[in-house]
Amino acid sequence: MPKSEAVSVSPDRLKPAAAVRTPAAEVPLKALSLRRNFSWALVGNGVFAVCQWGVLAVLAKMLGATDVGRFALALAVTAPVISLVNLNLRSILATDTRRESEFGHYVALRLAGTGLAFAILPLLCWIAGYGVPMTALILIVGLGKVSDALNDIAFGLVELHERLDRSSRARAFTGVVSIGAMTVALWLSGSLLWGAVGWSFAHIATLLASPFWIGKDIFAEDNPGLPGGEIKASLLAMMPQWDIRHLTQLVRLGLPLGAVMLLGSLSINMPRYAIEEYLGSEELGIYSGMVYLLMIVQMVVLALGSAATPRLAKHYAAGDLASFWGVLGRMLALAATAGAVAVVVAAVAGPTLLTWLYTPEFAEYPDVLIWVAAVAGIDFIGTFLGVAMTSMRRFRPQLPLMLIFLTVTTVLCYWLVPSYGLMGAVVGSGGGMFCRLVGAAWVVWSGTHRT
């Protein structure tokens, strides 16, 4: 293998000497095509989504709707704070085609953020007045969410190199292990708390295995010349780099995105908060079970979004707007079709599906499921428009959009849920998502039609 040649680096790159990129192998890492990336992401995210739905189904069958609601509440409490500190670094890394920061900088910032988030969770539980059992459940779920957040930054690295086969295998592994470990834990203990331990174990196991599923070739291309054997080199490549200047730059870039993710997470979970406050854990479990059914389709949407993000970013950066709109147009058509199919299936077979997949108590709300499917269709389209904005690196307009999303959702949910129950929550969620869709469409259109 030839020795690495010296490469001059401009001062604005601020690269440490050990991270200068030179050819690390005679055969360079090959990016997969958009079709293959989407296929892999579809399989990985599809398996993960089915397993995540399976977690709720197992809880419903073994413990009942009330415990489904408690687990859903734990997810809803942990999600916003994790979303804020994540700073959407995965998308920033996946679209960092100029490599303005090293992977170690992203790792360092994600470690600091997740540590802060986990430390905040007990305080949130105390403020909300949760008892010891619910607080313990939230902390256990939070440990799994923190591990998943660390995995998320690794997903950004493989997306940057357009090798979604790696992250897809990891997602599938996490999903299978999570439902398997939770099922075993529930069977042995009959306790939701121990079931949550099994669920979190899967995310921790994926994190510990990350040097293997990312792949030495990706690390070699990102960090040529690292000393030691393959495992040692991979571990060195994952070490955090505590470069204050780079971390500050990433915080400045990511803070608006972190705020966007916080507002988005609060908006998505606001119906859950309203349901838990006004209707109780059982109704929250029923609502969450319906939403998670559509999450399987949502994971397909996210799979395509992950596969298309680098491609859209390259088209936009190159000024090839025809190709940009060609890819985005096909994505939007697919999203609209998926939403329409979901509505038809919910209308024709909703009660039967809910009874078979969960328990008969879930089938008592067939109209709610139809509207959940309709709102999901709006969400699919809005998600793809959000991917387009991120690919264009139009980060700042997303903050006011999400603020509108949260405001409309909160007002409608807390106004409608006390009178209309679960249907009020669905309408509130749909109203907020429609406002987000309209705003995102305007940002993308105006960003591609500037004079």
What pLDDT score was predicted for residue 350? 86
C-alpha 84/C-alpha 96 separation (Å) is 20
> Encoding tokens for residue 176?
């299978």
pLDDT band, very low/low/confident/very high, at 293 (cuts 50, 70, 90): confident
71-97: average pLDDT? 86
Q: Which residue has the higher pLDDT, 225 or 391?
A: 391
pLDDT digits (tens, 9 = 90+) for 133-157: 999 999 999 999 999 999 888 888 8
Mean pLDDT over 281-294 rounds to 89
d(C-alpha 258, C-alpha 249), whole Å: 14
Lowest average pLDDT, out of 36-50, 79-93, 227-241, 419-433, goes to 227-241
Collect all residues with Cβ–Cβ distance below 8 Å to 206 and sequence separation of at least 6. Answer: 147, 148, 151, 170, 173, 174, 177, 213
Question: 214-228, 383-397, 406-420: lowest mean pLDDT where?
Answer: 214-228
pLDDT at 322: 87
pLDDT of residue 24: 41
State yes or no: pLDDT of 15 exceeds 60. Answer: no
More confident residue, 181 or 224: 181
pLDDT tens figures, 330-351: 888 888 888 899 999 999 988 8
Write down the pLDDT at residue 27: 52
Question: In the Cβ-directed half-sphere of 359, how many Cα atoms lie within 13 Å?
Answer: 16
- pLDDT value for 16: 42
**pLDDT for position 306:** 67
For tokens 């307009």, name the residue.
Answer: 397
12-16, 37-41, 230-234, 333-337: lowest mean pLDDT where? 12-16
Average pLDDT in the 31-59 region? 82
pLDDT of residue 423: 95
What mean pLDDT is predicted for residues 184-206?
93
Using alpha carbons only, give the angle 186, 192, 194 rounded to the nearest 5 degrees: 65
Q: With bands split at pLDDT 50, 70 and 90, how would you rate the model's confidence at 365? A: confident
Comparing 239 with 13, which gets the higher pLDDT?
A: 239
Dist. CA 153–CA 107, nearest whole Å: 7
Please, what is the average pLDDT of the chain? Answer: 83
Residue with tokens 């890819």: 327
Confidence class for position 42, pLDDT limits 50, 70, 90 = confident
| Of 114-123, 199-208, 321-330, the least confident | 321-330
Q: Provide the pLDDT for residue 419.
A: 93
Q: Can you give the residue ranges of every domain in the chain?
A: 30-448
Percent of the chain residues topping a pLDDT of 90 = 35
Q: How confident is the model at residue 398 (pLDDT cuts 50, 70, 90)?
A: confident
Model pLDDT for residues 213-243, shown as the tens digit of each residue: 777 777 766 665 555 445 555 566 677 888 8
Whether 8 has a pLDDT exceeding 80, the answer reads: no
Residue 273 has pLDDT above 90, yes or no: yes
In the prediction, which pLDDT does 9 show?
39
pLDDT band for position 1 (50/70/90)?
A: very low
